[in-house]
Structure 1
Amino acid sequence: MLPLKYRRLPRLFRSGPVNFIVVIGALVILGFYLLSTDTTSKANSPYKYRKVDNDPFDFAQAPGDHITHYDLNKLTSTSDSLKHKERVLILTPMAKFHQGYWDNLLKLSYPRDLLELGFILPRTKEGDEALRSLEKVVKRVQNPKSKTPKFSGVTILRQDTDAVESQAEKDRHAFKAQKKRRSQMATARNSLLFTTLGPFTSWVLWLDADVVESPTSLIEDLTAHNKAILAANCWQRFYDDEKKENSIRPYDYNNWVESDEGLRIASQLDDDEIIVEGYADMATFRPLMAHFYDANGDPNVEMQLDGVGGTCLLVKSEVHRDGAMFPNFPFYHLIETEGFSKMAKRLGYEVFGLPNYLVYHYNE
């Protein structure tokens, strides 16, 4: 190798003074750019940032950028969700499509641009029929040419695991079918939750596809309580043949307070056994929220619960982010929604219900 002082310059530097000056100028500009650009600073970033108000992140990048910053510390879930423009994710496992469910959903007064919908349907014949009906009504609302308000987003999933074989009410609620059925439901709920929960979500409203009637102010009413987990009382309208009149009756028995008998039964079960509430086969004598309904009572009255159902259940998104999900296995002898409430309580959250606040289940 030649001594350093005898090394030849690269050809570019030997091809004339003009090229030499061009190269030196380019290097100076590049050096100035690198020194003046702080890649960790939003203000000095080569990307254009725009400030976005009322969203849980500091800045969102201009189109074409591949980095997005979210600040979940700014994500709120408060008693005045509408004022703070808090986004609500409505999640519905759907085996059958009921037009009453969709009509009721469209009547909700919460702004649709703050609502996102998520559905999961089984790969069954009934699931295929429900999918066709669901897609039809969703496309009608979300059509860009439609003048009606649109939801901020809609996600439809097809279940990639086993589903409940029969959706007939007598089969769904048979005591012997509960462990398998609820395990499958828990898996479907978790798939739906983990796929759709985003950095903008403040609240998650679990709403069964069989809920066909609720107050139009459902979301505002529930979020006003500012509870981590809050269940509405699900009843059912029916025609009373004896009284010859329309009447109502309790439907969801999964909202309950633990009892001494329930604890005693649990202490005698094997690890893989579960307690199923609302069946004479396993009488726990737990106080059920469904039985605390007072037609003349204050709909805002709260009662503390240990177990919840999923017919109409509002959850702060932080609860799910902290790890509370729907166990598809016996968790302290509980499973699915009741297992979820147990898991949430183990994480330090309190669970409440509204005994006098009714939503109504479809009557088959």
Structure 2
Amino acid sequence: MRAYNKSRIVGQLLFVALGITFIYYLFTPSVSHSNAVKPKARKADINSINVYDMNEITASANARENKEEVLILSPIARFYPEYWKNLLKLSYPRNLITLGFILPSTRDGTKIHRDLRAAVQSVQKGPISERFADVKIMIQDTGLSSGQSEKQRHEREVQKERRSKLASARNALLFSALGPKTSWVLWLDSDIIETPPTLIEDMTQFNKDVLVANCFQRKGEKLVPYDYNSWIDSNVAKELASKMSKDDILLEGYIELPTYRTLMAHLHDENGDQKTLMRLDGVGTTALMVKAEVHRDGAVFPTFPFYNLIESEGFAKMATRLNYEVFGLPNYLVFHYNE
């Protein structure tokens, strides 16, 4: 009796299974085996592997002859057509230049992006011989306002926050755009509207780790110093810093807090040799040439007080701490937009 029940149960289960199978094939669309794609074992594409020997990257006094690649980086809060026109006048081969920009993700940033993109496309869609090697545009909420006047941007009370945000934008741009074959990084502020066409050749010929030009403004026939962030430290400044909280920053160019540092802006000699060099402890970024290895080694723009310095001045301190040398060219001028 038990054997009979077992066989009966097994038979019923087989019947149910056959019924389910019949229903499945009845209502499931048929697949043409001729059109079916059979899975294939993926072969490793050797061309997808890029190997870079970083020991072969040079940054020398003969940058052009050695075909050394230059990355020009510019945070942009406003788009100045004069900046772009000046950029196009640079004599360094464009096939060795990569451009990198970072724009604010704001309504103003949208217009900046439109203007910049139009300017870039006018070149990159032109003759191959006139195109840049690459152009990278980053859009990020930088927190920097494009609606402030020059006076508002330089008020002492806003400097810590403003320059912290600017340092953050610079770092984001650097990390995103720096390539494995980059030899030099030229930081060129987007409001620099006039430089010698040979700017890159002129600055790389010194073969310095960090080198900054002197930034002035043209006001009629008069030349006026603009950037006061390039300086030699003083004992007074060191004493002031020693009494500060680690969260405070020591700023340059403010009457209420005299540092008595030696400012490169004040050492310009109109009849002096453009190749005159001076060692610096702080730098601005209006036109700053940096060997890529300095950045790769860890020198960036501190977003926080670093030895009571921040952003570009903090970068100079960081580079020095990494045993790199920092220099300036007091008689070599670039010019800032005159608002």
Partner residue, 1:194? 175
Show the counterpart of 1:141.
123
- Following TM superposition, by how much is the alpha carbon of 1:165 offset from its aligned partner in structure 2, in angstroms? 6.4
* 1:205 matched to 2:192: no
Q: CA deviation at 1:67?
A: 1.2
Give the aligned CA root-mean-square deviation in angstroms: 1.4
Mapped contact 1:164–1:184 kept (Cα < 8 A): no
SS in 2 for 1:65: helix
Kept in 1: contact 2:77–2:144 (CA 8 A): no
Q: Decide which moves more: 348-357 or 123-132.
A: 123-132
Question: Out of 284, 287, 307, which is 1:332 matched to?
Answer: 307
2:76 alignment partner in structure 1: 94
- Structure 2 residue identity aligned to 1:67: I
Equivalence for 1:177: 158
Q: Do 2:90 and 2:199's aligned partners in 1 also have CA atoms closer than 8 Å? A: yes
The amino acid of 1:117's aligned partner reads L
CA distance in 1 between counterparts of 2:178 and 2:144 reads 22
In 2: Cα distance, 1:290 partner to 1:350 partner: 19
Q: Shift in Å at residue 168 of structure 1?
A: 1.4
The runs of 5 or more residues in structure 1 that have no matched partner are 1-45, 48-62, 240-245
Aligned to 1:163: 144
CA distance in 1, matches of 2:146, 2:164: 13
Structure 1 SS opposite 2:231? coil
Which residue of 2 is the match for residue 66 of structure 1? Answer: 48
Which residue does 1:247 correspond to in 2? 222
CA distance in 2, matches of 1:78, 1:141: 28
Does residue 1:217 correspond to 2:190, yes or no?
A: no
| Alignment of 1:150 onto 2:131 | yes
Q: Does 1:315 align with 2:296?
A: no
Whether the 8 Å CA contact 2:77–2:146 is kept in 1: the answer is: no
Residue 125 of structure 1: how far off its partner (Å): 2.7
SS of 1:349's equivalent in the other structure is coil
Question: Could you report, residue by residue, the CA deviation over 1:113-170 in whole angstroms, capped at 9, with x for unpaired residues?
Answer: 0000000011223222211110000001001x54661000000001234223643111
In the alignment, the residues of structure 1 paired with residue 239 and residue 223 of structure 2 have an alpha-carbon distance, to the nearest angstrom, of 33
Map residues 7-86 of structure 1 onto 2, 5 A cutoff.
65-86=47-68
- Gaps of at least 5 residues in structure 2 are 1-42
TM-score by length of 2: 0.85
Q: Which runs of structure 2 are paired with 1:287-302 in the superposition (5 Å)? A: 287-302=262-277
The residue number in structure 2 matching 1:355 is: 330
**Quick one: percent identity of the two aligned structures?**
55
Contact residue 92 and residue 120 of structure 1 kept, 8 A? yes
Q: What secondary structure sits across from 1:282 in the alignment?
A: coil
Residues 212 and 329 in structure 2, CA contact (< 8 A), matched pair in contact too: yes
Report what 1:129 is aligned to. 111
CA distance in 1, matches of 2:92, 2:47: 32
CA shift digits 1:272-326 (9 cap, x unpaired):
1001111112110100000000001000000000000010000000000000000
* Structure 2 CA distance for aligned equivalents of residues 110 and 122 of structure 1: 29
2:186, 2:290 within 8 Å by CA — same for their partners in 1? yes
Aligned residue in 1 for 2:219: 238
Q: In structure 1, what is the Cα distance between the partners aligned to 2:96 and 2:128?
A: 17
Q: What's the secondary structure of 1:319's corresponding residue?
A: helix
Contact 1:141 1:148 survives alignment (8 Å) = no
Correspondence 1:118 to 2:100: yes
Could you report, residue by residue, the CA deviation over 1:12-35 in whole angstroms, capped at 9, with x for unpaired residues?
xxxxxxxxxxxxxxxxxxxxxxxx
Match of 1:38 in 2: none
Report the Cα offset of residue 112 of structure 1. 0.1
In structure 2, distance between residues paired with 1:160 and 1:326: 18
Q: Secondary structure at the match of 2:294?
A: helix
Return the match for 1:259 from 227, 234, 243: 234
Contact 2:227/2:265 (CA < 8 Å) preserved in 1? Answer: yes
SS in structure 2 of the partner of residue 298 of structure 1 = coil
Q: Please point out which of 237, 241, 249 is paired with 1:274.
A: 249
Matched to 1:169, the amino acid is E
Number of aligned residue pairs: give it: 297
Q: Deviations over 1:183-233 (max 9, x none)?
A: 000000000000010111000000000000000000000000000000000
Q: Which letter maps to 2:311?
A: E
Higher RCO (CA-CA < 8 Å; seq separation 6+):
2
Which secondary structure state, in structure 2, belongs to the residue aligned with residue 108 of structure 1?
coil
